Amino acid sequence: MAPILRMERINKQYPGVQALADVDFSLEPGEVRALLGKNGAGKSTLVKILSGAVKPDSGTIHINGEAATINSPRDAFELGICTVYQEMSLVPGLTVAENILLGRWPTRRQLGVSVIDRREIRRVAQGALDQLEVTLDLNELVSRLNVAQHQLVEIAKAISFDPRVLVLDEPTSALPSEEVEVLHKVVRHLAEQGRAIIYVTHRLQEIPHVADSVTVLRDGMHIGTIPVEEAVPERIAQMMIGVDWRRTEYLRDSQAGEVKLSVKDLNREDVLHDISFDLYAGEVLGIAGLLGSGRTDLLRAIFGLDPIDSGEITVDGSLVSDPSPITMKAHGVGLTPEDRKLQGLVLPFSVRQNLTLASLDRVSNRGVLRRRRERSLAEKMVKDVQIVTPHLDARTETLSGGNQQKVVIGNWLNTLPDVLIMDEPTRGIDIQAKEQVFNLVRDLARRGLAVLFVSSEIEEVLDVSDRILIMNRGRITGEVRCDEVDIETLLALAMEEIEND
């Protein structure tokens, strides 16, 4: 069969990064292709090129044997390529039918005025849903639907363009397990209609259920395309990691001491299930899990940012009955949040003010700030965590990402915590800053701090931790010691789904 989509020698360069290097990619009608790769492997760039969001530097694209150029999302639509992104693009205040035809509502003339033809909207929208073979109330407001139904509306919206190629970007990452099956059925059904589907995913378990073949990208290169029968977790992990990756050995000479933080049977509906673990002084405990595994939810629950349904959180032997940032801080627990700009910093504040945000009680006396003390504390922290700033009173928003991250960490170190929870401390910062953060983390452990470390880069978790918990769909599904595990095994473990009991 002739390929419906053929991409050849696609190159795309961003400043400092070769996002795609000579990538060949082709699809046949009726084929579901799983697209895998770590963060930054080039998956999203490939998807964006197909959807017209970015232009390749070089390379050719053929659709149905004809040379095609995709300069805009509109071109992509006209060539029959539709993309459903992770982020929802629905309008909550409109109905299912209105969303499926968003911005393309048919009109009719009534009393000389052009009005929206609701009946026609419903007819066309129903047609799209019929192709998916799902039932949804067309008149329901999207705000009243659950995540899985949102996803179906998104796909119906794409199908209403009658695409030949449908791109689904991590469609199941936010779905609860029982809904995943429905989505797989829809995808298979659409493939049977002769559409080619690119299915970006992290979940190995679902691949046999949905895909015919698997393509793995790494560092912008096409590593290989294999039939689904050969796509066992170990093989995939090997392809994703490659042979040239080497573990960075950080000095792990810290001694695990007593239990600092103990979590028992933590539950939060749909998000966290029976989470129990202990965190010891002087150790770095990593959490390896994919997007949607519940790793951030776990940290938020411990820090009292989200309510929990049941479970116990004990710090230093004393039970925390009402976890909140204030009580956790009082117990000597700190959290550096995943989004430094939205959750970690007050951007208009100076570096000094951000460094003492959580420790104002240490730099004040009866509610009055001791400005010299604040300055010296901030100054010391700037040296300790190596923040590069023109001066202490520089606005924090003028700093680089890595230095902003160090300010967030410094803010919590100034509270003299026993336990530091770090959510994605290396997101969006350069390699040099990353290394500084890792060295800092190891150094903190050496000084007796208990560190809980989360990163979406699984290699980083392995590099920096002493012990790793594997998280999957809100459960802890395993625990490994870092000196006993290699990266391929760890990645395979994190990607494996545990069948629901």
Partner 1 sequence: MIETAEAKARPMPLDQARTFLSRSGLLVGLILLFVLLALFAPNFLTTRNQLNVLRAVAFNGIIACAMTFIIISGDIDVSVGSAVAWASSLLGVLAIKQGWPLWLAVITVIAQQTVVHGLAGYIRCKWNVPAFVVTLTLFMSLRGAARLITNAYPITPFPDEFNFWGGGYVAGTIPVPAIIMVVTFIIFHFISTRTVFGRWVYSVGGNEESARLSGIPVWRTRILIFAITGLLSAFSGVILSSRIMSGSSNIAEGLEFDVIAAVIIGGTSLAGGEGSIFGTFLGVLFIGLLSNGMVLLGITPFAQEVVRGLTILFAVLISVWQKPIRK
DSSP label of 484: G
Q: For strand 5-14 and strand 58-63, is the pairing parallel, antiparallel, or unpaired?
A: antiparallel
Closer residue to partner 1 (CB): 173 or 386: 386
Among 360, 373, 418, 475, binds partner 1 (CB under 8 A): 360
15 binds partner 1 (CB under 8 A): no
Q: Count of CB atoms within 10 A of residue 473's CB?
A: 23
What the block records as the tokens of 193 is 């209609």
Q: How far is the CB of 211 from partner 1 (least distance, A)?
A: 39
Half-sphere exposure of 122 (CA within 13 A, CB side): 8
Among 2, 147, 319, 346, binds partner 1 (CB under 8 A): 346
113 binds partner 1 (CB under 8 A): no
CA 489 to chain centre: 21
Q: How far is the CB of 49 from partner 1 (least distance, A)?
A: 26
CA separation for the pair 25, 136 (Å, rounded): 35
Closer residue to partner 1 (CB): 246 or 366: 366
Closer residue to partner 1 (CB): 233 or 417: 417
Q: Which range, of 66-74, 226-234, 385-393, 461-469, touches partner 1 by CB under 8 A?
A: 385-393
Q: Which range, of 85-93, 360-368, 474-482, 492-500, touches partner 1 by CB under 8 A?
A: 360-368
CA separation for the pair 441, 446 (Å, rounded): 9
Among 53, 256, 357, 485, binds partner 1 (CB under 8 A): 357
Query: 147-159 and 118-132 are packed helices; what angle lies between their axes, rounded to 10 degrees?
Result: 100
Footprint (CB under 8 A) of partner 1, residues 48-67: none
Q: Which range, of 30-38, 40-48, 113-121, 338-346, touches partner 1 by CB under 8 A?
A: 338-346
Give SS3 for 2: coil
Containing H/E element for 406? helix 401-413
The answer for residues whose C-beta is within 8 angstroms of residue 164's C-beta and 6 or more apart is 4, 5, 29, 63, 64, 79, 80, 81, 195, 196
Closer residue to partner 1 (CB): 29 or 325: 325
Among 162, 270, 393, 430, binds partner 1 (CB under 8 A): 393
Residue with tokens 């378990």: 205
Backbone angles phi, psi at 212, to 5 degrees: -95, -30
349 binds partner 1 (CB under 8 A): yes
CA separation for the pair 245, 317 (Å, rounded): 41
Footprint (CB under 8 A) of partner 1, residues 269-328: 303, 305, 325-326, 328
337 binds partner 1 (CB under 8 A): yes
394 binds partner 1 (CB under 8 A): yes
What the block records as the tokens of 501 is 């009991």
Picking from 401, 424, 202, the residue whose alpha carbon sits closest to that of residue 300 is 424
348 binds partner 1 (CB under 8 A): yes
Question: Contact positions toward partner 1, by CB under 8 A?
Answer: 303, 305, 325-326, 328-330, 335, 337, 342-350, 353, 357-358, 360-361, 364, 367-369, 371, 379, 382-383, 386-395, 397, 411, 415
